[in-house]
Amino acid sequence: MMYLLLLEDDLNLGRALHKLLQRQYRVHWLRTLAAARAHMEQGGYDLVLLDLGLPDGDGVDWLRSLRSAGCQIPVLVISARDRLDDRVRGLDTGADDYLVKPFEPDELLARIRVLLRRKAGTAEPRLTAGSLAFAADTHQVYLNGEEISLPPKEHQILAVLMQSVDKPVSRERLNRQLYGLGEGVDSNTLEVHIHGLRKLLGKDRIETIRGYGYRLVPL
Ligand code: CA
């Protein structure tokens, strides 16, 4: 799963973005440049979402130091500064894209996908199961070649099933993906989301393995 660093000091916006992005990506939310500096090196991030006005400095300065150190990670600046010179300055400094607050969630997700795709090069790794395809880097789902969108939980379940096409996947593994470790799991919830997936993809596509879990059938 792609790993995003979200650098945003505004609590409300940070929380909302964290929630939004977590549906598709692993997200590390930090609120200061100091924290970003401390985590960047061993972070293993695939992309940075960078607010410019941070409590301990200007995001542009940090970006400049990243680029001058040879770090090529894609950086998407998200800022309320919408003056043209700010935008130009951000891009000149090495930002890959610039989004002005407030923005639509879909717009943000689309820009992130573009940057991640560009990073992955033209060869987008795809998992397929019959007429179903799943882009491993961007997590887009295609049915008969058309992109479809799934609710977050259904999307997470499918991501796991696509990694083991035609093989049984245990309920435990799927629940772990949905809820992580240590959270209370309502045993019926998984069924509800499987039902949702079947409605969207066709009921024969996901086979129930009694007493164990489910199998994604390549149709
Ligand atoms: Ca800010």
35's CB contacts (< 8 A; 6+ apart) are none
Distance 42 CA to ligand 1 centre (A): 24
Distance 209 CA to ligand 1 centre (A): 49
Distance 68 CA to ligand 1 centre (A): 23
Nearest alpha carbon to residue 151 among 201, 193, 113, 207: 193
Distance 15 CA to ligand 1 centre (A): 13
Strands 53-54 and 57-58: antiparallel
Rounded to whole angstroms, the Cα distance separating 214 from 168 reads 6
Rounded to whole angstroms, the Cα distance separating 81 from 113 reads 23
Distance 88 CA to ligand 1 centre (A): 18
Type of residue found at 32: T
Mean pLDDT within 82-98: 76
Answer yes or no: pTM beyond 0.85: no
Please write the tens of the pLDDT for every residue from 195-214. Answer: 999 999 999 999 999 999 99
